[in-house]
Each structure stands twice: as structure tokens, then as C-alpha cells.
């Protein structure tokens, strides 16, 4: 690994650590600023498949998904939280985003990276609600003048059945 690779890995890892802190501190407008205007935020549905059908384990981009959002939809979700009328987040959830295994898997040399991260999102709400989601994210990020921005996020949950009462958090 070269010094350039080590510096890039450190920059990217720091970016994801800061993003996690931004979400856990409920600074959702700051979090939105981490996304490009043309972003796509997508979480397909995972289904149990046999070995010969693993290529169909996740729904395709033109099929049903838990999230299939552009920047305007993400902004709308944050504005709803601002109103105080979001029943699924009043009182607000307490979250902890744990990000690991940050891997730059593609670097086009022109400030565009493809990065995979593993995550655990723990949420507790009210006195007894607890949820945990585990999975992997694949992001396309761009280095811009003000820092890295997420141009595309695909979120792949390990769970096939979600036991949560709602899916109101950001991954």
C-alpha cells in the first residue's frame, strides 16, 4: 500500500466517521449537505433465495425497495422531522451508527470513488423499543471543493424480515 493509498483510506474513513456522528447527533441538515444534488439513496428488499438464485436475492432498481429516494425526497424526510409531527420520531429515536470495514474498491483517479462499508445501526426509542439493522453500504462518492459528497448510496441489509415498527432512520 502506498502513502497515497494510506492517506486516501484515512480521508475516507474520517468522512464516514463524521457522517455517523452527524446522524447520531441528529444534525440532519448537515447530513443532507453530505449528498450531491443528483444523489440516489436506495435500499432494496432482501429475499431468501436458493444457491442457484442468489443473483435475485435483492430486488432490482426497477422493483420495490424500502428506500428509492433522490435528494428532494431526503430533504422532505428531514423537513418532516423538523415539524414535530412525525409520529414515528416523537419522541425521537436514540441511534448509534457503527461503521467498519471501510474499503475503497474503485478509484477512477478523477475524484470519484466507490466505497463499501459495513454498518450496525442500533436504535432505541421510548422505554422499551430496540431495533438493530446490520448490513453493507456501497457508495459512490465524489471529492468536491468542500470535501467528499455521496452521489449514490445502496444499502444492503443482512435481514430478510424487519421486526421494527417503522423504518424512519437514515442509514
Residues of the chain with pLDDT under 70: 1, 4
Who contacts 122 (Cβ-Cβ below 8 Å, separation ≥6)? 95, 96, 98, 130, 131, 132
Looking at residue 69, its pLDDT comes to 98
- Select the CATH number that applies to the domain covering 3-157 from these four: 3.40.605.10, 3.10.450.50, 3.40.50.2020, 3.20.20.70: 3.10.450.50
Looking at residue 1, its pLDDT comes to 66
Cα–Cα distance for residue pair 29/22, rounded to 1 Å: 9
Q: Are 127 and 96 in contact (CB under 8 A)?
A: no
Question: What pTM was estimated for this model as a whole?
Answer: 0.93
Looking at residue 90, its pLDDT comes to 84
Amino acid at each position: 500500500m502506498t502513502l497515497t493509498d494510506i492517506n486516501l483510506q484515512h480521508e475516507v474513513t474520517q468522512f464516514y466517521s463524521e457522517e455517523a456522528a452527524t446522524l447520531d447527533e441528529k444534525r440532519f441538515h448537515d447530513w443532507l449537505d453530505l449528498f450531491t444534488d443528483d444523489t440516489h439513496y436506495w435500499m432494496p428488499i432482501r429475499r431468501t433465495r436458493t444457491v442457484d438464485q442468489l443473483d435475485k436475492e435483492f430486488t432490482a432498481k426497477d422493483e420495490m425497495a424500502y428506500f428509492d429516494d433522490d435528494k428532494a425526497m431526503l430533504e422532505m424526510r428531514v423537513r418532516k422531522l423538523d415539524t414535530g409531527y412525525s409520529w414515528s420520531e416523537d419522541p425521537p429515536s436514540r441511534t448509534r451508527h457503527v461503521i467498519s470495514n471501510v474499503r475503497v474498491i474503485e478509484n477512477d483517479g478523477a475524484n470519484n470513488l466507490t466505497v463499501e462499508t459495513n454498518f450496525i445501526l442500533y436504535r432505541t426509542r421510548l422505554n422499551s423499543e430496540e431495533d438493530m439493522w446490520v448490513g453493507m453500504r456501497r457508495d459512490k462518492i465524489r471529492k468536491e471543493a468542500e470535501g467528499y459528497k455521496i452521489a449514490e448510496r445502496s444499502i444492503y441489509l443482512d435481514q430478510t424480515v424487519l421486526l421494527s415498527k417503522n423504518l424512519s432512520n437514515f442509514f
